[in-house]
């Protein structure tokens, strides 16, 4: 399998006034296409920071990050935006849907910026909603949807541009355990059936067990990186 993600000696230092906060202190790992990886660790260990870097929302202070054969080091703002548009789908803890905007239109959003025709936009967003099982909720606004449904809309949005990678930072953090399991089943299905690479951050071992590999962070360093014995969860 190809190396989809290759991270080498990445550090990230935030500067707050005169104080330097090292959030990532030199980590290296690779992720192949089609993997399903959980990132775990205590609060403040740098999980979100590495996710932002993987998602091309932020740049590392030192080190290199290759995504799908492209070195992101010297890319300009708009080139990073282009990578986000084509290669990455984000799912956030707080869903981050546009308020007062229908589910369909929320799912359409990434296609506004990737030059997809209106008809194609409609078709693809409807299809993405059907994948996450929300065919009948296309015209509902986020405020008319449950948390789990909102997160499904967000996942549909992450899928719609056919991005090879989905990055999910605590996607089940705001959901109860039943809904969390449903969301994780959805991720598992997407990973298995569509071969989408999924990297998610979680605090819960139960959630992490859905993935096939767990990378553990501690104070900005990787302390363990191992396969999960039994992938998925029996239904």
Partner 1 sequence: MISIPSAFKISFRALRVNKMRSVLTMLGMIIGVGAVITMLAVGTGASMKIAEQISSMGSNLLIILPGSSTSGGVRAGAGSVPTLSVSDYEAILKECTSVEDAAPILNGIAQIVYSNQNWSTIVIGTTPGFLNVRDWPLDSGRAFTEQEVKTAAKVALLGQTVAGNLFSDANPVGQIIRIKNVPFIIIGTLSSKGQSTQGQDQDDTILIPVTTAQKKIFGTAFPGMVRIIMVKAKSSDDLIRAEIQLNTLLRQRHHISQKQDNDFTVRNLTQLMQTAEQSAKVMTLLLGAIASVSLIVGGIGIMNIMLVSVTERTREIGIRMSVGAKTWDIRMQFIIEAVSLSLMGGATGIIFGLAGSQMLTSLVGWPTIVSILSIVLAFSFSGFVGIFFGFYPAYKASLLDPIEALRYE
Distance CA 164, CA 190 (A): 11
Owner of token pair 């990055």: 167
38 binds ligand ATP (CB under 6 A): no
b/e burial code for range 94-128 (CB count within 10 A of at least 16 → b): ebebeeeebbbbbbbbbbeeeebeeeebbebbeeb
Select from partner 1, ligand ATP, Mg ion, none the partner in contact with residue 132, using the beta carbon and a kind-dependent cut-off of 5 to 8 Å.
none
109 binds partner 1 (CB under 8 A): yes
- What's the distance, CA 24 to chain centroid? 19
49 binds ligand ATP (CB under 6 A): yes
Select from Mg ion, partner 1, ligand ATP, none the partner in contact with residue 90, using the beta carbon and a kind-dependent cut-off of 5 to 8 Å.
partner 1
**Nearest approach, Cβ of 215 to ligand ATP (angstroms)?**
12
Position among 9, 28, 30, 101 found at the interface with partner 1 (CB under 8 A): 101
Distance CA 125, CA 160 (A): 6
**Nearest approach, Cβ of 43 to Mg ion (angstroms)?**
7
48 binds Mg ion (CB under 5 A): yes
Helix residue ranges per DSSP H, the chain: 47-54, 77-87, 103-112, 118-131, 147-159, 177-194, 205-208
55 binds partner 1 (CB under 8 A): yes
**Nearest approach, Cβ of 70 to Mg ion (angstroms)?**
26
Give the strands of the sheet with 165-169, arranged side by side: 88-91, 165-169, 197-201, 36-41, 213-218, 221-227
174 binds Mg ion (CB under 5 A): no
Distance CA 41, CA 217 (A): 5
**Nearest approach, Cβ of 170 to Mg ion (angstroms)?**
6
Select from partner 1, ligand ATP, Mg ion, none the partner in contact with residue 113, using the beta carbon and a kind-dependent cut-off of 5 to 8 Å.
partner 1
Distance CA 29, CA 27 (A): 7
223 binds partner 1 (CB under 8 A): no
172 binds ligand ATP (CB under 6 A): no
- Contacts to ligand ATP by CB under 6 A: 14, 16, 21, 23, 41, 43-49
């Amino acid at each position: 399998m190809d190396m989809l993600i290759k991270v080498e000696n990445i550090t990230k230092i935030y500067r707050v006034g005169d104080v330097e906060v090292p959030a990532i202190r030199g980590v290296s790992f690779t992720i192949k296409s089609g993997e399903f990886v959980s990132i775990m660790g205590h609060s403040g260990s740098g999980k979100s920071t590495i996710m932002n870097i993987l998602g091309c929302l932020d740049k590392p202070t030192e080190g290199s990050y290759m995504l799908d054969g492209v070195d992101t080091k010297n890319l300009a703002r708009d080139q990073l935006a282009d990578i986000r548009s084509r290669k990455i789908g984000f799912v956030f803890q707080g869903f981050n849907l546009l308020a007062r905007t229908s589910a369909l239109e929320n799912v359409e959003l990434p296609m506004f910026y990737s030059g997809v025709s209106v008809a194609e936009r409609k078709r693809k967003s409807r299809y993405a909603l059907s994948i996450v099982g929300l065919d009948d909720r296309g015209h509902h606004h986020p405020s008319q949807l449950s948390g789990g449904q909102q997160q499904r809309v967000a996942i549909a949005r992450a899928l719609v541009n056919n991005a090879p990678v989905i990055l999910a930072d605590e996607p089940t953090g705001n959901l109860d355990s039943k809904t969390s399991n449903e969301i994780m089943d959805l991720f598992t299905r997407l990973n298995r059936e569509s071969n989408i690479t999924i990297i998610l951050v979680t605090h819960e071992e139960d959630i992490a067990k859905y993935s096939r590999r767990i990378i553990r962070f501690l104070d900005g360093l990787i302390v363990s990186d191992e396969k999960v014995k039994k992938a998925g969860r029996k239904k």
